Amino acid sequence: MNDIRADDWRETLDPPAGGLTRLVDAIESSRARSLRLQPRFALIGVGAMAAVVAVFGLALQIQRNSPQHRLRSALEAALSPAAEDAGIRVDNGAAVEIPSANPNVRMYWVAQLPPAAAEPARP
Amino acid sequence: MALSEDALYACYRRMEKPLYNVLYRWLWQPQECQDTIHDAFMRVWEKRARVDATRLDKLVWTTALNLARNRLRWRGLWRFAEPDEGATAADDGPLETTERWQSDQRLRAALATLPRAMRQVLLLSEFGGLGVAEIAEVLGIPTGTVGSRKHQALARLRAQLNEETR
């Protein structure tokens, strides 16, 4: 048995040069990249938030202008008891405020029950 | 405590050679070994906020061994991209290159006859310079197992190499 020959395999090798320099460069460039990206991420965040707010606002506006919403608002206004100094009071009927383009002009759609319906005949 | 840049570089200086020697006997490609070491240290650096500096060496060993394992798996998938069998560890002259190639081939063939678990223990102890307790920690096995695997692996490797040189 040749022990010297058999133990040749334990030989220690030197790694190729430049490993540490490569690591230092990589870490420095990753740091520079993250510093460069930080303002971009902030801008992207602000932009995304503004977009969400805009979409939400637009959806609200569309919903407010929808005919269903306007009808519901008008019915609610008609069914709710009117304040003493606001709106009009209709005896034996109902009034629905109609949207007006002029803020100084208020328009109402008024309907009155026929006298027979208002006071049922007593026996 | 987070890992500092100086501690990482000191660790690189301390561990580059043992890591390279272990990985070379596993991957058999100098450039791939250097890339694996680089990637391992970059991975550790990316996790620096959660790295315990006192366990840095163990983390680097574990990461490098996992990356080497992944590289070998990829080689298995991409068999047509076989490594250059003649790749050597350094830019030596033709005579040294031939000698290195022959000794690499002999050792590679002998190591290939060992079971993977035994081979890992042998590489870490003989080329990584790790003690039994350190190997046990890196591989997550009991120290008794490390001792017995190392003993068996050395005996089998010696027998294999002697058979080849006869």
Q: What is the pLDDT of residue A94?
A: 83
Of B26-30, B53-57, B90-94, B118-122, the one with minimum mean pLDDT is B90-94
Instruction: Give residue B18's pLDDT band: very low, low, confident or very high (50, 70, 90).
Output: very high
Q: Domains plus CATH for chain B?
A: 1-87 (1.10.1740.10), 94-166 (1.10.10.10)
User: Residue range B19-30: average pLDDT?
Assistant: 94
> In chain B, what percentage of residues exceed pLDDT 90?
66
Q: What is the pLDDT of residue B58?
A: 94
Asked if the model's pLDDT at residue B9 lies above 50, the reply is yes
Ramachandran quadrant class, B27 (left: phi over 0; alpha: psi -120 to 50; beta: rest): alpha
Q: What is the pLDDT of residue A118?
A: 52
Q: Where are the beta strands (DSSP E) in chain A?
A: 93-98, 107-112
User: Residue range B100-118: average pLDDT?
Assistant: 88
User: Residue range B3-8: average pLDDT?
Assistant: 91
Are B16 and A15 an interchain contact pair (Cβ–Cβ within 8 Å)? yes
Nearest by CB: A23 against B12, B20, B161: B12
Using a CB-CB cut-off of 8 Å, the residues of chain A touching B8 are 23, 27
> In chain A, what percentage of residues exceed pLDDT 90?
24
The three-state secondary structure class of A115 is helix
Instruction: Give residue B134's pLDDT band: very low, low, confident or very high (50, 70, 90).
Output: very high
Q: Within 10 A of A97 (CB to CB), how many other CB atoms are there?
A: 16
Q: What is the pLDDT of residue B56?
A: 93
Using a CB-CB cut-off of 8 Å, the residues of chain B touching A15 are 16-17, 20, 30, 33-34, 37
Per-chain mean pLDDT for chain A? 80
Q: What is the pLDDT of residue B44?
A: 95
Instruction: Give residue A38's pLDDT band: very low, low, confident or very high (50, 70, 90).
Output: confident
How far is residue B128 from each of residues A88, B18, B44, B96, measured CA to CA in Å? 95, 4, 19, 23
Q: Are A88 and A95 in contact (CB under 8 A)?
A: yes
Are A6 and B162 an interchain contact pair (Cβ–Cβ within 8 Å)? yes
Question: pLDDT (tens digit, 9 = 90+) per residue, A43-77?
Answer: 899 999 999 999 999 998 888 788 888 888 888 87
Q: What is the pLDDT of residue B126?
A: 93
Asked if the model's pLDDT at residue B70 lies above 70, the reply is yes
Question: Cα distance from B166 to chain A (closest Cα, Å)?
Answer: 8
Buried (b) or exposed (e) across B113-152, using 16+ Cβ within 10 A? ebeeebbbbbbbbbbbebebebbbbbbeeeeeebeebbee
Question: Cα distance from A44 to chain B (closest Cα, Å)?
Answer: 23
Instruction: Give residue B2's pLDDT band: very low, low, confident or very high (50, 70, 90).
Output: confident
Q: Between A and B, how many residue pairs show a Cβ–Cβ distance under 8 A?
A: 68
Using a CB-CB cut-off of 8 Å, the residues of chain A touching B13 are 20
For chain A, domain boundaries: 18-65, 67-117
Using a CB-CB cut-off of 8 Å, the residues of chain B touching A6 are 158, 161-162, 165
Using a CB-CB cut-off of 8 Å, the residues of chain A touching B42 are 23, 26-27, 30
What whole-number distance in Å separates Cα of residue B161 and Cα of residue A5?
Answer: 9
Asked if the model's pLDDT at residue A120 lies above 70, the reply is no
